[in-house]
């Protein structure tokens, strides 16, 4: 017997319609790519998204077609998302920080018909457009006054492009499992792979994100996603913030400490989200200027492990609660957030920060387990670590164009490629990427733990740990340090500083100073490149 409740497909446009109807005057503030601060609201964003949809339909874009964006977080990018999905087409967020060759590969693999592009990236596309034969048109996300001279084929100015239609357009109707968004994984090995979100997965993921154990968004919040919309759906914020009816503040192209701080204070931001690299910049700015963080009370930090020193600085100096989070493109991306369950609510001092080093607990909608290499589930005791596997309605079941390749285990779990522990309260702690864990004498050493410890040294700006070959132990940890300006002549001082804070056999065998640690296009330490750069390194004595 079937239930007798309404069939209300979970479609993306319902989110922006809800925001427009119930929170219509709530502001969407952006630092425009052209420069000035731009103000609009959900009612206007929804109305203009309809124009995007209408215009795409008029240009012959059909359900299932891919429309790429190479764009910063701005109101126009948001309108594009909802407009594209409103006709059943698929927004494909391209990470402009990728190498041009990777962008060419991804756009061709996705078969994007249209590219919507910010002024910043027009020169980049001009260079590679000849290698993108499938792209019919480039829509430049600007107005007529700022439209550049460009060789891009069929280049149109966004404002004129949507200005040519009246917005009298009904969203298309289709199944909630229809594809909505496409995002390629960073692809440190092999070709990047496309993760194809559906309307249903995006809406469910946003609902999950809004819950209080996760991001806990409310219409009274003022949310600043520093994390780009091209980085795994801006961690849901392009969907969950309008769903919650919260004010949205979008940082455009300027992600430096001073610019981010100006928005935080000027717009009354209460909640923000970004990778550690961005927050290093903000904290350095605050230290240099003596400024505070205004009304901000929470910030989500993820993408790579949040160092303890960062969590402490936010809490103790600025009274901002860091919500450490973990996830991945394949998970839409939120997997866990470190918010306080009653079991741990009373923790203080070091015990509190020990907990905050964990990546958090999973919400309803993310099943999580750790297993050994044979797939046998391991204990949730917070000590034993194993391969982290997940399943849920917003987790990938296949990659785009690899529909015949099984990526789930017999119980429907996806192997994240991460290694971690789960404690009896359900809190996950990521030990490492399976590929980065250091295998010393048959035991594993967490590079993340060592990096966290090293950056707590006052003279260290950034640290990375990689395994280097050792004749007896297989691999031993090498600490790679970028010192703060002018500080630290002897890198072994950092190893001395780590003494007594971790097991002795975890201590790095050596430390080297470098000018710069390479990062991936999503801001993570690029260990593949780092290992290549240090391929000739030999531990002292070998």
Binding site for ligand AMP (CB under 6 A): 185-186, 232, 302-305, 324-326, 328-329, 333, 359, 416-418, 430, 433, 522
Cβ-based nearer residue to ligand AMP, 267 or 451: 451
Helices (H), 111-149: 122-128
SS3 state of residue 368: strand
Cβ-based nearer residue to ligand AMP, 54 or 359: 359
Phi/psi class of residue 414: alpha, beta or left (left: φ > 0; alpha: ψ in -120 to 50)?
Answer: beta
User: Least CB distance from residue 519 to ligand AMP, whole Å?
Assistant: 12
SS3 state of residue 454: helix
Q: What is the 3-state secondary structure (H, E, C) of 41-87?
A: EHHHHHHHHHHHHHHHHHCCCCCCCEEEEECCECHHHHHHHHHHHCC
User: Least CB distance from residue 516 to ligand AMP, whole Å?
Assistant: 21
- CA gyration radius for the chain? 23
Task: Name the nearest CA neighbour of 293 among 275, 310, 315.
Answer: 315
Lookup result for tokens 């119930």: 22
For 408, counting Cβ atoms within 10 Å of its Cβ (0-12 exposed, 13-18 middle, 19+ buried), the class is middle
Distance CA 170, CA 53 (A): 9
Cβ-based nearer residue to ligand AMP, 244 or 273: 273
Q: In the numeric block, which tokens belong to residue 23?
A: 């929170």
Question: Do residues 333 and 306 make contact, with C-beta atoms less than 8 angstroms apart?
Answer: no
Cβ-based nearer residue to ligand AMP, 139 or 232: 232
Q: In the numeric block, which tokens belong to residue 336?
A: 């866990």
Cβ-based nearer residue to ligand AMP, 142 or 185: 185
Q: In the numeric block, which tokens belong to residue 400?
A: 């785009």
Cβ-based nearer residue to ligand AMP, 304 or 440: 304
Cβ-based nearer residue to ligand AMP, 327 or 483: 327
Question: Do residues 48 and 168 make contact, with C-beta atoms less than 8 angstroms apart?
Answer: no
User: Least CB distance from residue 46 to ligand AMP, whole Å?
Assistant: 28
Question: Do residues 202 and 210 make contact, with C-beta atoms less than 8 angstroms apart?
Answer: no
Residues 6+ apart with CB under 8 A from 81: 12, 49, 69, 91, 181, 229, 238
Cβ-based nearer residue to ligand AMP, 50 or 389: 389
- DSSP state, residue 314: I
User: Least CB distance from residue 414 to ligand AMP, whole Å?
Assistant: 11
Lookup result for tokens 């971690």: 420
Cβ-based nearer residue to ligand AMP, 257 or 276: 276
Name all contacts of 314-320 with Cβ < 8 Å and 24+ positions apart: 314/279, 314/283, 315/353, 317/286, 318/286, 318/292, 318/293, 319/293, 320/293, 320/296
User: Least CB distance from residue 340 to ligand AMP, whole Å?
Assistant: 17
User: Least CB distance from residue 305 to ligand AMP, whole Å?
Assistant: 4
Q: For the CA atoms of 255, 261, 266, 269, what is the dihedral angle to 10 degrees?
A: 90
Distance CA 184, CA 168 (A): 34
Cis peptide before 333 (omega within 30 of 0): yes
What are the catalytic residues? 185, 330, 439, 444
Task: Name the nearest CA neighbour of 356 among 370, 334, 368, 340.
Answer: 340
For 402, counting Cβ atoms within 10 Å of its Cβ (0-12 exposed, 13-18 middle, 19+ buried), the class is exposed
Cβ-based nearer residue to ligand AMP, 358 or 380: 358
């Amino acid at each position: 017997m079937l239930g007798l409740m309404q069939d209300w497909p979970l479609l993306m446009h319902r989110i922006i319609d809800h925001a427009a109807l119930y929170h219509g005057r709530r502001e969407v503030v952006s630092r425009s790519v052209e420069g000035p601060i731009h103000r609009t609201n959900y009612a206007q964003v929804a109305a203009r998204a309809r124009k995007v949809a209408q215009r795409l339909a008029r240009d012959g874009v059909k359900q299932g077609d891919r429309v790429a964006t190479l764009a910063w977080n701005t109101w126009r990018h948001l309108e594009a998302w909802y407009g594209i999905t409103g006709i059943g087409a698929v927004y494909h967020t391209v990470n402009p920080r990728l190498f041009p060759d990777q962008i060419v590969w991804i756009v061709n693999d996705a078969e994007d018909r249209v590219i919507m592009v910010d002024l910043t990236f027009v020169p980049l596309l001009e260079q590679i457009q000849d290698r993108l034969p499938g792209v019919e048109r480039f829509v430049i996300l600007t107005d007529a006054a700022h439209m550049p001279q460009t060789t891009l084929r069929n280049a149109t100015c966004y404002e004129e492009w949507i200005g040519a239609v009246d917005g009298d357009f009904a969203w298309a109707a289709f199944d909630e499992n229809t594809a909505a968004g496409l995002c390629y994984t960073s692809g440190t090995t092999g070709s990047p792979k496309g993760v194809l979100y559906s309307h249903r997965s995006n809406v469910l993921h946003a609902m999950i994100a809004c819950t209080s154990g996760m991001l806990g968004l409310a219409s009274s919040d003022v949310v600043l996603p520093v994390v780009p919309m091209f980085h795994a759906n801006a961690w849901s914020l392009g969907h969950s913030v309008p769903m919650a009816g919260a004010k949205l503040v979008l940082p455009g192209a300027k992600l430096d400490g001073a610019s981010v701080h100006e928005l935080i204070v000027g717009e009354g931001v209460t909640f923000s989200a970004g990778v550690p690299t961005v927050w290093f910049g903000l904290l350095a700015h605050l230290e240099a200027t003596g400024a505070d963080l205004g009304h901000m009370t929470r910030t989500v930090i993820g993408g790579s492990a949040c160092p303890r020193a960062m969590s402490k600085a936010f809490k103790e100096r600025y009274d901002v609660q860091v919500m450490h989070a973990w996830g991945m493109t394949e998970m839409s991306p939120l997997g866990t957030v470190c918010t306080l369950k009653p079991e741990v609510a009373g923790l203080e001092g070091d015990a509190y920060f020990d907990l905050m080093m964990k990546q958090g607990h999973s919400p309803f909608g993310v099943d999580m387990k750790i297993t050994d290499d044979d797939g046998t589930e391991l204990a949730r005791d917070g000590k034993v670590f194993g391969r982290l596997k997940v399943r849920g309605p917003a987790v990938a079941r296949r990659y785009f164009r690899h529909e015949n390749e099984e990526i789930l285990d017999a119980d429907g779990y996806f192997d994240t490629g991460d290694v971690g522990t789960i404690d009896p309260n359900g809190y996950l702690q990521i030990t490492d990427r399976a590929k980065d864990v250091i295998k010393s004498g048959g035991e594993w050493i967490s590079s993340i733990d060592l990096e966290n410890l090293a950056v707590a040294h006052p003279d260290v700006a950034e640290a990375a740990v990689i395994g280097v070959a050792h004749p007896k132990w297989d691999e031993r940890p090498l600490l790679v340090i970028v010192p703060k300006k002018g500080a630290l002549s002897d890198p072994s001082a950092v190893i001395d500083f780590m003494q007594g804070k971790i097991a002795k056999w975890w201590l790095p065998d050596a430390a080297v100073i470098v000018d710069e640690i390479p990062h991936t296009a999503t801001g993570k330490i690029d260990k593949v490149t780092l290992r290549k750069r240090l391929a000739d390194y030999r531990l002292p004595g070998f």
